[in-house]
Amino acid sequence: MNFEFNETHLMIKETARQFAEDELAPSADTRDEKEEFPYEQVKKMGELGFMGMMVSEQYGGAGLDTLSYVLAMEEISKVDASAGVIMSVNNSLVCWGIEAYGTEEQKQKYLPDLASGKKLGAFALSEPEAGSDATNQRTTAKKDGDFYVLNGTKNFITNGSQADIVLVMASTDRSKGAKGVSAFIVEKGTPGFSVAKKEKKLGIRSSDTVSLAFQDCRVPKENRIGEEGFGIKFALKTLDGGRIGIATQALGIAQGSLEAAVKYSKERKAFDHTISDFQIIQFKLADMATNIEAARSLILYAASLKDRKEPYAAAAAMAKLFASRIAVQSALEAIQIHGGYGYVREYKVERFLRDAKITEIYEGTSEIQKLVIGRALLQ
């Protein structure tokens, strides 16, 4: 497949690269250390149009394609994977989900602020007993006149405590299992909706990951997305696109690891040579670069299928499966090339390893991606 980038694509990539270098790089290590959310940086990402890249212009978005989105996402994640996941969830899960399946009123009400970064979104599917087994929803939504009353707990919710708008999956009819789950838009400040535990994480520490609690939380019926019972299909369809975003976050981490390793190998001297003179180092860099190009091709392929409105679920799963593996491997190799310096916080490659691991877990573990790919092959 031929990936021809036009001038707009190249301009977006360059804008994202410059933004990442100027606005994210100087504070990324400190925010990681202090577990600080990048408030100012997310605001600027909104101003640059990075928070609603694929949202149509009529709803205040940048009206761009998925290729543009992945080009920007790689540049952001190369420098700061926490900013990458904040951007990915807002773009691919929240904005895309509302635009693809929301009512006209929902799109007009929520998309302009989400796309401009004035408001932030979160996607609440996971529960203490519904991670990979996502259909096993225990949160309930009981119809009461013109409202649904939500009760339950969501966990590991990215952007959770910062979000103004949360897409919540909840069971409207437990007897129907997966077919009894519905999707709702819940606004921050709705009585009965609160933030519970903030997680202390291995990586992506400057992003926000929390549990959310719903206790007799009354949500107007016009906030339901799609029909009753559409919630699991809504969540899984939306996650198909989300996986392209997370694959690209992983790609960014891998590329950042490679660039750090190349730079260090040209500076570090051993045995009267820079270590880049040694074939063992060149071979490591060559393997990293080859795998990264392969991951990039899988991502661009999935993104272009999505842009052409062709089925992309399996391609997205392949891209995420491979890119997340490459992210972990590349970060490990970058540390190895740095030797002892790679193991300490002064050099950012140890952050890359800590950030990489989650890409094999969230938006479907690698095992779930294999299940999705396997089912597509055998259907």
Q: Clarify whether 363 is annotated catalytic.
A: yes
Whose Cβ is closer to ligand CAA: residue 50's or residue 347's? 50
Return the H-helix or E-strand segment holding 320: helix 313-338
Backbone angles phi, psi at 351, to 5 degrees: -65, -40
Whose Cβ is closer to ligand CAA: residue 322's or residue 347's? 322
Among 240, 333, 350, 360, binds ligand CAA (CB under 6 A): 240
Taking contact as CB under 6 A, which single stretch among the options 40-48, 129-137, 140-148, 336-344 is the one that binds ligand CAA?
A: 129-137
Does the protein bind ligand CAA through residue 132 (CB under 6 A)? yes
Does the protein bind ligand CAA through residue 158 (CB under 6 A)? yes
The pairing of strands 121-124 and 165-171 is parallel
Contact 124, 168 (CB under 8 A): yes
Does the protein bind ligand CAA through residue 237 (CB under 6 A)? yes
**150, β-bridge pairs:** 141, 217
Does the protein bind ligand CAA through residue 66 (CB under 6 A)? no
Minimal distance in Å, beta carbon 368 to ligand CAA? 5
**35, 41, 99, 181 from 23: Cα distances, Å:** 17, 7, 29, 41
Nearest to 156 by CA among 200, 210, 120: 210
Does the protein bind ligand CAA through residue 204 (CB under 6 A)? no
Q: CA torsion, points 200, 347, 48, 109, in degrees to nearest 10?
A: -10
Q: From the CA atom positions of the chain, what is the Rg in Å?
A: 21
Does the protein bind ligand CAA through residue 197 (CB under 6 A)? no
Compute the distance between CA of residue 81 and CA of residue 246 in angstroms, rounded to an integer.
10
Task: Give residues 353-372 in contact with ligand CAA (rule: CB under 6 A).
Answer: 362-364, 368, 371-372
> Which residue among 33, 293, 363, 367 is the active-site one?
363
Spell out the residues 6+ positions from residue 4 whose beta carbon is closer than 8 angstroms to its own.
none
Does the protein bind ligand CAA through residue 95 (CB under 6 A)? no
Among 25, 100, 236, 285, binds ligand CAA (CB under 6 A): 236
Among 70, 114, 163, 313, binds ligand CAA (CB under 6 A): 313
Q: Is 375 left (phi over 0), alpha (psi -120 to 50) or beta?
A: alpha
Does the protein bind ligand CAA through residue 373 (CB under 6 A)? no
List residues near ligand CAA by CB under 6 A.
85, 89, 123, 125-126, 132, 134-135, 158, 178, 232-233, 236-237, 239-240, 313, 362-364, 368, 371-372
What residues are annotated to the active site? 363
